[in-house]
Amino acid sequence: MKNNILIIGGGPAGLEASGILVKMGYNVILVEKEKQLGGHLAKWDTLFPDGLKAEDLLKAMIKKTGGVKYFTDTQVQSVNILNKSYNVILSNGITVLADAVLLATGFDLFKAEKKEEYGYGVYEGVITNADLEQYFKGNFSIKKPKAVGFVHCVGSRDEKACNPACSKVCCATAVKQACHIKEKFPQADVFCFYMDLRMFGRHYEDLYLKAQKMGIRFIRGRVSEVAETSEGRLLVKAEDTLSSKPIKVTLDTLVLMAGMRPSESGYQVGHQLNLSVEEDGFFSTKDTMLSLQKSNLEGLFFAGAATGPKTLPDTLHEARSAAMEIDNYITETFNKR
């Protein structure tokens, strides 16, 4: 009889792992709380570093999951350990007895309205990185802008927001989005307000050089205040920490690079199993070197942003490692092969 593997979360990590596990011959059940599969990837337009269409990547990933049993719009209602298995009751009334569980519950975007000084939800011109992706996907329109600004580190590297950690993906996202805006509106002035530019991955530096060549201005300093002018534009105050001078710019759109925070619904599942979390709220892995996909519970594994901010290539690598770890675990525990 095939072993049951339950995957919680149908984002990039859950989809990639489920496609591999089903090919290995497991009975894979995937539970996604939203109506659609794809997680955050389904909300993005094009991807750094090379402009791949998110939609195309998602289609390719879903194509590899033939044979996986999906339950969308479904949550985990309760989960407990029964001998060597996990007894999971789903919100659709179905009970799954799983020999291994993969928690791929991803992340939540930082709630930008918590940083009141930026005026998200107050001024129409202030939007988030996620909103801008929706604009690029054609889901809403903006007036042709004369000037656009990007604020890095919104809710990340910020003690006041109770998150001193870096979200890793938002510098590259800001540069990707700034280039896209400049391509759409070549006449617009585009500014990036940053603390440090963390362009660490392969080809990321090329993206930064491209942005500089396009005339995007990088200003090292935090935005301190945003106010609306009488013409309905945004007056943005910041300090240029390289020249130690205060600066003021008037913009039409200000994009807040909201960071990655632990998933609340992922936490609710983990809480039922007493899974440990780090100070930043993301799940703890068994160790920090050799067992990155393992949890402190036998038979329960992680992949993707459930254990911290990650890019898509990192997420997909983790999903593949998790599939391998699950296969090893089943072989050792249930004497299969």
Ligand X SMILES: Cc1cc2nc3c(=O)[nH]c(=O)nc-3n(C[C@H](O)[C@H](O)[C@H](O)COP(=O)(O)OP(=O)(O)OC[C@H]3O[C@@H](n4cnc5c(N)ncnc54)[C@H](O)[C@@H]3O)c2cc1C
Picked from ligand SF4, ligand X, none, the partner binding residue 153 (CB below 5 to 8 A depending on kind) is ligand SF4
Encoding tokens for residue 42? Answer: 């389904």
Q: Contacting ligand SF4 (CB under 6 A), which of 33, 115, 152, 182?
A: 152
Give yes or no for a contact between 10 and 70, defined as CB atoms under 8 angstroms apart: yes
Least separation in angstroms between CB 244 and ligand X: 31
Q: Contacting ligand X (CB under 6 A), which of 26, 27, 68, 107?
A: 107
- Distance of alpha carbon 323 from alpha carbon 7, whole angstroms: 11
Q: Which stretch binds ligand SF4 (CB under 6 A): 43-51, 105-113, 192-200, 281-289?
A: 192-200
Transcribe 224-287 into DSSP letters.
Answer: EEEEE-TTS-EEEEEEETTTTEEEEEEESEEEEEE-EEE-HHHHHHHHHTT--B-TTSSBPPS-
Picked from ligand X, ligand SF4, none, the partner binding residue 297 (CB below 5 to 8 A depending on kind) is none
Is residue 177 a contact residue for ligand SF4 (CB under 6 A)? no
Q: Contacting ligand X (CB under 6 A), which of 96, 192, 207, 269?
A: 269
- Distance of alpha carbon 38 from alpha carbon 30, whole angstroms: 12
Q: Where are the alpha helices (DSSP H) in 119-185?
A: 129-136, 170-184
Q: Contacting ligand SF4 (CB under 6 A), which of 33, 176, 198, 233?
A: 198
Give yes or no for a contact between 109 and 119, defined as CB atoms under 8 angstroms apart: no
Encoding tokens for residue 39? Answer: 């997680």
- Distance of alpha carbon 150 from alpha carbon 270, whole angstroms: 35
Is residue 157 a contact residue for ligand SF4 (CB under 6 A)? yes
What residues make contact with ligand X under the rule CB under 6 A? Answer: 8-14, 31-34, 39-41, 44, 47-48, 75-76, 104-107, 109, 129-130, 169, 173, 176, 260, 263, 265-266, 269, 304-305, 310-313, 315
What residues make contact with ligand SF4 under the rule CB under 6 A? Answer: 152-153, 156-157, 166-168, 170-171, 195-196, 198, 257, 259
